[in-house]
Amino acid sequence: MSELSLTDFLGDTKPSGGSAEHLNLKAMGKAIVFLHPGSKIYKRNVYWFPFYGEVEKNGSKSMEVYDLNIVCPGLDINPIAKLRKALRDDKSIDLDEVILKVGKGKDAVSYKKGDIIGEQGYDWRKNLAYKTEYLFGVIDVANPDSVHPFVAPKSLGKKITKVIEEQIEDEGDVKGNPFVTPYAFRLTYDSKAQAADMYNCSWNKAEATDEIKELIKGDGPDNKPLIEPATVEKIAWLVKQALVYDAEDLGLDLSAADDFDPADLNKRGNEDSEEAGESKEPKKEKKEKKPLPKKEVKRPETSVDDEDEDEEEDDMIECPECGTEVPADSETCSSCGNDISPF
């Protein structure tokens, strides 16, 4: 995870490749914002991992399955990356085999091997490949009271990139640079649109008021803590809670989970994640393991300590239909089956 210059950001989002309250575009639907130069641009890779925990809504508490936002540590030490690699390498495990199960009764959610590794025809929403996000500090024109942290998924990052590139082409390197000559962006979110069109961005003619100019000159929120990776102990514990397949037969070492205190898991995701909300760890019951298939389970020839090399670190592109990262030379998306050969 790293801080990006504007030049780095523009290049990184091309198809080839905090104390303040967050601005929640999903809840708002639309917003007109100015980027805050002092808050910089940060990049992080995150997993959305299922968890069954207590959630408080409107004064009442209930147990629900929800996704934790987990900032990735290095792939060579990351239990989720190792799980995906082990499943891809072990051809003896059927794609329909349930590997993870979270929740109870009718609320339980299962993840098949095909889901987890992003196999074509399976639920792309359960693909446990990481997603790239960008963090900005923004000033909401409708409520210019402070600078808010804002998290943009990679698809929106590309669209912000396009607006900046068009402004630089039309206005030059000074007037076109929003960190030098501030101008407004109109951001929108539509949950009913196709995956590639849920987020959109366009230039907006709103002018910076004196109040906004003062905020632009001042200090913004420190977004750097939002890129801090989760600990291996925490991720190993989460995987262990959900795993119904035998870890040893997958070649997974989840011993790091023994060093994690569940009492530390008191928010949705990392301590400063975008949608942090109070969540207490439910009282644990003894987990019933699913019986192993009555067949010999082949061990991966490659050590699980090796880095998850294939689609995680090579040249990648993002599927315009579902947003999944796939190898740049792919003809179809491994998650949703969309034809991506033009890319």
Taking only the tens place, the pLDDT of each residue in 277-325 is 333 333 334 344 444 443 333 333 333 333 333 344 444 555 655 556 6
Report, as an integer, the average pLDDT of 97-105. 93
Q: What is the pTM of this model?
A: 0.70
Spell out where the chain has E strands.
Answer: 2-4, 30-35, 41-57, 60-71, 98-102, 109-112, 131-140, 148-153, 184-189, 199-204, 316-318, 325-327
Assess whether pLDDT exceeds 90 at residue 138: yes
- 29 pLDDT tier (thresholds 50, 70, 90): very high
Report, as an integer, the average pLDDT of 210-239. 90
- Distance, CA of 334 to CA of 129 (rounded, Å): 11
Question: Helices (H), strands (E): how many in the chain?
Answer: 8, 12
Assess whether pLDDT exceeds 50 at residue 128: yes
- 64 pLDDT tier (thresholds 50, 70, 90): confident
pLDDT in tens, 233-278: 999 999 999 999 889 989 999 999 999 988 777 543 343 333 333 3
Assess whether pLDDT exceeds 90 at residue 87: yes
